[in-house]
Structure 1
Amino acid sequence: MYNRRTILRGGGVAGLGGVLLGGVSWSRAAAAETKAVRAILPSATHDTLAVKVLLERPPSEAPILTIDGRAVAARQMDQDGYAWGFVQDGLKGGTSHELTLSDEFGGSLRTPWRLKTLPPIDSTPEHFRVLFFTCAGGDEGGKPYGYLSVADRQALLDRALSFKPDLAVANGDHIYWDLWTALKYRRDPATRAATEEQYRKIAWINEDIAFDSDTNRKSLNTVIGRQIASIYEDRFASVPLVFVTDDHDYFENDNAGPWGYTFPPRPFIFGLQQRTAAMAYPFALGRPDLGDPYKSGTVEAVKIGKLLEIDLFDCRRGWSIGQDARILFPEAEAWLTGRLRTSQAKQLIHAPSNPFGWSAGKLGEWYADGPSDTSSFQNDKGYWQQGWFDQHQRLAKALSAQKERAAVSISGDMHASSIASISRSADLDLSANAIQAILPGTIGTGTPGFPSTVRGVPPFHAAALEIKDIAKMEERNGFSIVDVFPDRIEVRQFRWRPPEPVEAIATLQPSDTYTIRRTS
């Protein structure tokens, strides 16, 4: 509940993102009208609109959001009052609505804008356009690892939005601020020391004190402000968003060692991810009931009438090891394979956080492939579990077994762009309906952050696969525009990377196009 005590506490803290971030350059509305608002992150279903609003400073009273002139109840999403949520159901599908946002005195916080519900659940639209990308996070001052500048990331997103997508999928790694794996276990001592120096300067999250301490709240707010709010601002105000969670969103990398495994997440880092999601992820409106909210939080379905279903899944929280090792919870796997059998959608896309088709030699992949140098502590592939690939096989079999739909997987995590077709996986013949495996492109990766520089090897196809490249793999920034029709899916990939001039992004043309047709 928002009360005077909360107001006083919030009033004493720095603005969201901290003083080091600098000014905010809004993409759609005038800066004079939005100086108090840091980000607007919407989501939608066929009958519901939802909006997250991040404010620069906690207000004295809740902000007011209206839809078609009617106020929507405000939900305070954090302890201090930086983040507010609004959810309105009972709306008509496929309908555009006018939204306004004002302060408690009625002063406008943004020019009115429009947001549309998804098509009615029983309709079959002739066309729907989806924007896919991954790895938008990373701190702009992120030495020693390096990330693309915020301005460059905004330019990529603005070019993507110029194609007027109906929905956007941001698949994983919205945050890069690893704790144990960056400060204790990975890389050399000098790099770890440099990382600690950076963290202490910008946002020091202290696991040895109370989770809800002032230090930890302020630090998490700063990370959210710098890595999510500063990039998205209000540019997606009229485009529903879906966020998928990946490893770095739990404030760790996918690693293991004598100390154990980073996943499933320990309580502290799970709390960080949950707090970040509450504040700065769009509302997840399509979670199924798997009997346990912890497990249900790893999957989400977006349904576009009877035209398209996108099933998205987090491949980190459900880790297990041993005889029955898995990457996904059994309930999540059963739900995903069940949807492949029962969904009435003309097209169905899997959107896992962990990519099908490629490896970068990392521990937490579906595949056993890894570095040949086993003497290096950086090589933790010996902790990989056979059961993870076994689960991959079950998912691949179910995806390929669809009788009329093409088998399509558009992944997250991998810092690259590519399109390929998987016809065999170990002893599994997929040739009757080969899996169309797509790496959609990364938004935030800087030059030091691509696999070939971080791990010494570019992304490669796993040895267990028979796979044909359709659009060659490139370690470049970019995104994919996916146009869905009843009889086909058309994919356009856009690629860019420094030292190409940032001005070129504004007129960026497709590097590759590919049409995926229904099998019948």
Structure 2
Amino acid sequence: MDRRQFLQSSIALSALTGASSSLSNQDWKAGPVEHLIPSANHSHISLKAVFSRQINDSVLLIDGKKINGRSTDSTGRGFAFDAKDLRPNTRYELALMEGETRLTDSWFLSTMPDPKSRPEHLRLLIFTCAGGHPLMSEGEHSPFLPQSTRRRLLQRGLSFKPHAMIAIGDHVYWDQRTWLESSKASIRDFSSGLYDAVGMLDRGAPAYGGNNEEILKIVAGEQITPLYGTELRSTPSYFINDDHDYFENDEATDRYVTLPPESYQKQFFSFVRDHYLPDFLPSADVPNMLSGKMRNGHNRHFGALRWGRLSETLMYDCAGFLSLKGETAGLVPPEVERWLCNRTADETVEQLMHIPSHPFGWSAGKWREWYPDVADSGQTGTQTAKMYADGQRFQLTTGKSKFMWQKGWWNQHQRLLECLSNQKQRPGLVLSGDLHATGHSQIVGSGDLSFASNPIHSIITGPLGTGSGWPSKARGTPPTVASHIRLDSPAPVTERNGFTLLDITPDNVRMRLFAWRRENSSLTDIDALEPYHDVKIKKQGSSI
């Protein structure tokens, strides 16, 4: 068997074992459903479903009402469902049908509380970096954890019965130019062989229909469907994009600059998002004019999770709409920044959190960071952000310019942190991913700004899928405190897998960080994993 045949047979095997593991949860009969992920607000339920065969007349049955599916591919296997005008805080019975034939057992899913209501509790499960193809996930030194290990971590998180789940960025890793044209020969050779075996995406052809669609189902579907399957069918779920979801690492070199996304990146991203992952749903608190808004009012880049007057979670993509405008640049567009600051200033909701795809407080010397920190290669002049360190160790510096870094990113960072700290009653709270780490810090100052009166709690939520691809290996430095940032670290940032649980009440936010690493832990440890950091973040003036 040659290499091509081996890779192709491995893909088929991973698809078979992944689907069977994901779909055999309890006694619920999934029928031909391979993939089922819902989202919800107080009046809508949205659903993405992928089937093992063509479905001629796909229908979602919700409390006896039929909702016709919208096809998300050219083969009749993927569908989106959108049920509107529902009652808030109501448990609905759902089932999937083909015409009049029921395909699945019933299951239950609830809408969110009315925005004017006063619920007392919300539990959120949050993590980052869940992607990684099975062909890069086997062996003790693989870049990504095996799907079975990722599922085990996910199931441990779901065992706490969260009301909702949030996955931050890098749901898919299948970079194009940054791998195929890498400065490192071994990366070029490996990715070329892998991509030739699976099928090489054509960056000049449409994503929908034809060869690109079939390849995208292999390269992206194999990272998403075996992980989630139908496990999330009763858990509203929210997915925030980051750089790899646009099929490139965030890199700026003299040969390419990967963000903002080019046409092929937007097309590949749009197919994957439409076919597999639910959108952010429209809300009265989310302006209609935000970038990324679609005709149906949905958005794939910016959105909010509102839980009555108890909690509001603002989620934003720091890759898809970043700008390269020098002093006025931003990782999010100006109207998104205004929305974030306006909602943060409105304290009618008891607790508020920001969840950007890119972290506040830490740096690994990457190009697309809020911060100018860059690895000091020892050379003079402008430095390119380091990638593939080959065992070298670097110190970060701001004494040398980082190629294509934009001062406006830092300026926007300062404005966002200031609006978080300026809250009169609520603590500043921001959770993020990207850095393949877990930890909790309190930012007390940034540049010439002081947040001593209301420090900003910055949490790295923990990666689900990272194997050996830690920043310390790839970039020659672990995540470090960014320049001009002053912080305390109740739980210092470390390179470990894990997830975060938040329990939100009117008086405080209880945060639990969970961590695991395969080099010094067993798989069975995951099943009883307990938090290594457990703290209550109190509202200002609260004694509880």
Equivalent of 1:441, from 458, 462, 468?
462
Instruction: Return closer, same or farther for 1:292/1:405 CA change in 2, 3 Å cut-off.
Output: closer
Aligned to 1:356, the other structure's residue is in SS state: coil
Aligned to 1:363, the other structure's residue is in SS state: coil
Residues 22 and 228, structure 2, Cα contact 8 Å, conserved in 1: no
Instruction: Return closer, same or farther for 1:137/1:254 CA change in 2, 3 Å cut-off.
Output: same
In the alignment, which residue of structure 1 is the partner of 2:399?
Answer: none
Instruction: Return closer, same or farther for 1:19/1:103 CA change in 2, 3 Å cut-off.
Output: farther
Q: Distance in 2 between matches of 1:294 and 1:283?
A: 11
Q: Distance in 1 between matches of 2:384 and 2:359?
A: 24
CA RMSD of aligned residues (A): 2.1
Residues 18 and 222, structure 1, Cα contact 8 Å, conserved in 2: no
Unaligned runs of at least 5 residues, structure 2: 1-7, 294-298, 388-401
Once structures 1 and 2 are overlaid, which stretch shifts more, 452-461 or 415-424? 452-461
In the alignment, which residue of structure 1 is the partner of 2:503?
Answer: 483
- The one-letter code sitting in structure 2 at the alignment partner of 1:149 is P
Alignment of 1:46-61 (within 5 A): 46-59=42-55, 61=56
TM-score (norm 1): 0.92
Residues 363 and 371, structure 2, Cα contact 8 Å, conserved in 1: yes
Q: CA deviation at 1:56?
A: 2.0
Equivalent of 2:163, from 135, 159, 166?
166
Once structures 1 and 2 are overlaid, which stretch shifts more, 502-511 or 376-385? 376-385
Alignment of 1:311-330 (within 5 A): 311-321=314-324, 322-330=326-334
Residues 129 and 434, structure 2, Cα contact 8 Å, conserved in 1: yes
Q: CA deviation at 1:294?
A: 3.1
Q: Distance in 2 between matches of 1:374 and 1:71?
A: 65
In the alignment, which residue of structure 1 is the partner of 2:97?
Answer: 102
Equivalent of 1:291, from 280, 289, 292?
289
Aligned to 1:84, the other structure's residue is in SS state: strand
Equivalent of 2:136, from 132, 142, 146?
142
Q: CA deviation at 1:472?
A: 2.0
Residues 153 and 464, structure 2, Cα contact 8 Å, conserved in 1: yes
Equivalent of 2:361, from 336, 357, 370?
357
Aligned to 1:362, the other structure's residue is in SS state: coil
- How many residues are matched? 501
In the alignment, which residue of structure 1 is the partner of 2:441?
Answer: 420
- The one-letter code sitting in structure 1 at the alignment partner of 2:83 is Q
- The one-letter code sitting in structure 2 at the alignment partner of 1:275 is F
Unaligned runs of at least 5 residues, structure 1: 1-13
Residues 142 and 198, structure 1, Cα contact 8 Å, conserved in 2: no
Instruction: Return closer, same or farther for 1:397/1:315 CA change in 2, 3 Å cut-off.
Output: same
Residues 366 and 385, structure 2, Cα contact 8 Å, conserved in 1: no
- The one-letter code sitting in structure 2 at the alignment partner of 1:294 is G
Instruction: Return closer, same or farther for 1:209/1:47 CA change in 2, 3 Å cut-off.
Output: closer
Q: CA deviation at 1:93?
A: 1.2
Aligned to 1:182, the other structure's residue is in SS state: helix
Instruction: Return closer, same or farther for 1:297/1:114 CA change in 2, 3 Å cut-off.
Output: closer
Instruction: Return closer, same or farther for 1:203/1:150 CA change in 2, 3 Å cut-off.
Output: farther
Q: Distance in 2 between matches of 1:154 and 1:96?
A: 26
Q: Distance in 2 between matches of 1:377 and 1:391?
A: 22
In the alignment, which residue of structure 1 is the partner of 2:479?
Answer: 459
Instruction: Return closer, same or farther for 1:105/1:93 CA change in 2, 3 Å cut-off.
Output: closer
Instruction: Return closer, same or farther for 1:210/1:158 CA change in 2, 3 Å cut-off.
Output: closer
Aligned to 1:519, the other structure's residue is in SS state: coil
Q: CA deviation at 1:75?
A: 1.3
Aligned to 1:111, the other structure's residue is in SS state: coil
2:137 paired with 1:116: no
Q: Distance in 2 between matches of 1:274 and 1:148?
A: 26
Once structures 1 and 2 are overlaid, which stretch shifts more, 297-306 or 162-171? 297-306
Residues 290 and 331, structure 1, Cα contact 8 Å, conserved in 2: no
2:76 paired with 1:92: no
Aligned to 1:453, the other structure's residue is in SS state: helix
Residues 298 and 332, structure 1, Cα contact 8 Å, conserved in 2: no
Residues 287 and 339, structure 2, Cα contact 8 Å, conserved in 1: no
2:522 paired with 1:501: yes
Equivalent of 1:180, from 177, 190, 197?
177
Q: CA deviation at 1:78?
A: 2.1
Aligned to 1:449, the other structure's residue is in SS state: coil
Deviation readout 1:442-479 (Å, 9 max, x if unpaired): 00111x21111111111111021111111121211100
Q: Distance in 2 between matches of 1:137 and 1:289?
A: 30
